[in-house]
Structure formats: structure tokens, C-alpha cells
Amino acid sequence: MPTIEPDYDRLVETHEPHYFHAQARGFALIRDIERYLDEADSYAGRYTGYIDPMTEDLVITGECEEEYEAAMNNAREVACMVARSNGYRILLAQRRSDDAAMLVYQAHGDLDPPA
């Protein structure tokens, strides 16, 4: 999971020297959330198992719940970083209301997405 540099762990204003780096970091963190959500979606409802060679039946040995939860926890952790950084303003400016944006809005404490 990515770490955020202390300089970008806040909203950096346009007149500050690291503004463009903070913006780039915000976009990168948003992409990380999307990647973790895609990973979680790939595990949702998936089972592990094998084909029994004698009967040729599928034998289900478990579900991918742990992998799903791990990916969602990573997405939530990155959403907390985005909520404290310029990534939050990027999502507001884009007026996004997808799953990645909703995680960030919740981490920021917004009950409703921006209209």
C-alpha cells in the first residue's frame, strides 16, 4: 500500500511550492483506490475449489472473503489519505459519485456526495 509524504498529507494551496506534486499525488492515490476496488470486485462471490478426478464434479473448498476484505481495507486506507489531501478537491471538482469517490467522501465525513 502506498504511503503519503507528510507534505502531501494536507490540502496544498495553489500558491504553495509543492502544489503540482500534491495534485499529481492526489490523482495517483485515486487510481490506487480504483485498483483496490477492482481487485475487491474480482474476489466478490468467488469460490475456491477443484475438480474431483473420480467424479469430475466441482468441489468447493472455500470462499474468497479474506481476499475481498483485504482489498477493501486497502481501498479504505487509501481513501483516508485522499480525504486529507488534494485528491479530495480533485474528486469534488470532477463531481464524481462512483465507488472510489464515495469511499473518500465517507472518510472525509461527508454524508452526502456533492450535488
Does residue 104 sit within a domain? yes
Confidence of residue 94 (pLDDT cuts 50, 70, 90): very high
Q: Quick one: 40 exposed, middle or buried, by C-beta within 10 A (0-12, 13-18, 19+)?
A: buried
Does residue 33 sit within a domain? yes
* Residue in 8, 33, 9, 30 with CA at minimum distance from that of residue 21: 8
Does residue 65 sit within a domain? yes
pTM comes to 0.77
Q: Which structural domain range is residue 99 located in?
A: 19-108
Does residue 13 sit within a domain? no
Does residue 113 sit within a domain? no
Does residue 61 sit within a domain? yes
Does residue 10 sit within a domain? no
CB environment 73-109: b (16+ within 10 A), e (fewer): ebbebbbebbbbbbbbebbbeeebeebbbebbbebee
What's residue 7's pLDDT? 56
Q: State percent of the chain over pLDDT 90.
A: 47
Does residue 7 sit within a domain? no
Q: How many domains does the chain have?
A: 1
More confident residue, 48 or 54: 54
Q: Quick one: 12 exposed, middle or buried, by C-beta within 10 A (0-12, 13-18, 19+)?
A: buried
